[in-house]
Structure 1
Amino acid sequence: MPSDTKARIQEVARELFAEQGVQNTSLRQISERLGITKPALYYHFSSRDDLVRSIVRPMVDDLERFVDERGPGGDPRRLLDDYFELLWRHRQVIVMIVRELATLSQLDLGVRMFEWRRKLIAMLLGPEVTQAQHIRATVALGGMSDCAVEYAHLPLEEVQPTAVEAAADALGL
């Protein structure tokens, strides 16, 4: 469990990274907004990259756990619902990543995200997927991610039902 100071640093950094991008946010800006010294910030995080990793890691862990703990079969709509809730929970991090795609390569997220998507598609549609089904699934899952980002200012209960229904329609469920 992170300390209160560490959690506050991550919260402020997440906000600034989402607002102005990782590369445009300095540790000085973060420490000033928090009202702490830069050495106090360095006590908790050795670098900006270390801080970024600490912010992205919970999303990565949740996504890996999500795709690894679910097997094939099961209710596809429930899977879409649960997946959307996971995306929604990490929408601020997704905004941060989308805003600055260099973060993907810096943290080796691009390859991992495609692997997660392949696993999700297999869970939704089985191991034998046609190219057309794969394209539909890419639109469905990518569209859900986009909705979590684009409509992050709205309440979950206004976004989730429509996003999941549209994904299910794209998948032909």
Structure 2
Amino acid sequence: MAKDTKARIQTAALELIARQGVQRTSLRQIADQLGITKPALYYHFASRDDLVRSLLQPLLDECETMIIELERSGGDDPRRVLEECFDLLYRHRNVINSLVRDPTTLSELDLGNRLINWRLRVIAMVAGPRPSLAARVRAVVAVGGLADCTVLFDDHPVEKVRPAALEAALATLDRPEPVRRPARRRAPTSPRSSSRSR
């Protein structure tokens, strides 16, 4: 029963935070939405920060575990790295949408630095050993784009989004044709200037 109540509190908190942000969501609002007393809510969470941490903790734990396991195995298979990243981020998309985009939450819980560190470690695995600048840029675009796809296409079935996102990310990692810069056109000379030069 206690676990059910705790889960209901977390679900209601996510719904409210998604609509109005962390700072505008109070424990009283959450209690009112659930029809429980504030002391009953305090039984499970001592403060709003405590509640927010409980929402984030599964994401944080899974991220750290996933990255450590990938690094131990060598992290030399970009497809596997990208697949695992997509699946993890998709599982936690509601939390990411509701909390990770809130700058206050990022700073107060030192979440921003942790997320940046994890992303850099994933990018390093995807870029490969001794990558060139171009390879590092492609890895940044591939990982960032893949992550965005887990939250931006929530209205489409994951069975369609996942393969499309992975295909695009892997295609980004392939060495593309060099970008050809258009030749500079010479400014047309006016009849006067051409006649003066004669």
Which of the pair has the greater relative contact order for Cα pairs under 8 Å at 6+ separation?
Answer: 1
Total equivalences in the alignment = 172
CA distance in 1, matches of 2:104, 2:44: 24
| Aligned counterpart, 2:95 | 93
Q: Which moved more, 1:56-65 or 1:124-133?
A: 124-133
How far does residue 74 in structure 1 lie from its aligned partner after superposition? 4.3
CA distance in 2, matches of 1:34, 1:13: 10
Aligned counterpart in structure 2 of residue 157 of structure 1, from 156, 159, 169: 159
Q: Which moved more, 1:153-162 or 1:33-42?
A: 153-162
Name the larger-Rg structure: 2
List per-residue Cα deviations over 1:9-45 (Å, max 9, x = no partner).
1111112112221111111111111111111111110
CA RMSD of aligned residues (A): 1.6
For structure 1, the residue ranges without an aligned partner over 5 or more in a row are none
Contact 2:76 2:128 in 1 (8 A): no
Matches within 5 A, 1:7-156: 7-71=7-71, 72-156=74-158
Contact 1:27 1:48 in 2 (8 A): yes
CA distance in 1, matches of 2:101, 2:83: 25
Q: What is the TM-score when the length of structure 2 is the normalising length? A: 0.81
Contact 1:27 1:38 in 2 (8 A): yes
User: Counterpart of 2:25 in 1: which secondary structure?
Assistant: coil
Select the structure that is richer in helix.
Answer: 1
Letter of the structure 1 residue corresponding to residue 19 of structure 2: E
For structure 2, the residue ranges without an aligned partner over 5 or more in a row are 176-198
Seq. identity, %: 55
Contact 1:21 1:99 in 2 (8 A): no
CA distance in 2, matches of 1:129, 1:107: 33
State yes or no: 1:166 paired with 2:168: yes
User: Counterpart of 2:162 in 1: which secondary structure?
Assistant: helix
How far does residue 127 in structure 1 lie from its aligned partner after superposition? 3.6
Contact 1:12 1:30 in 2 (8 A): yes
CA distance in 2, matches of 1:161, 1:11: 29
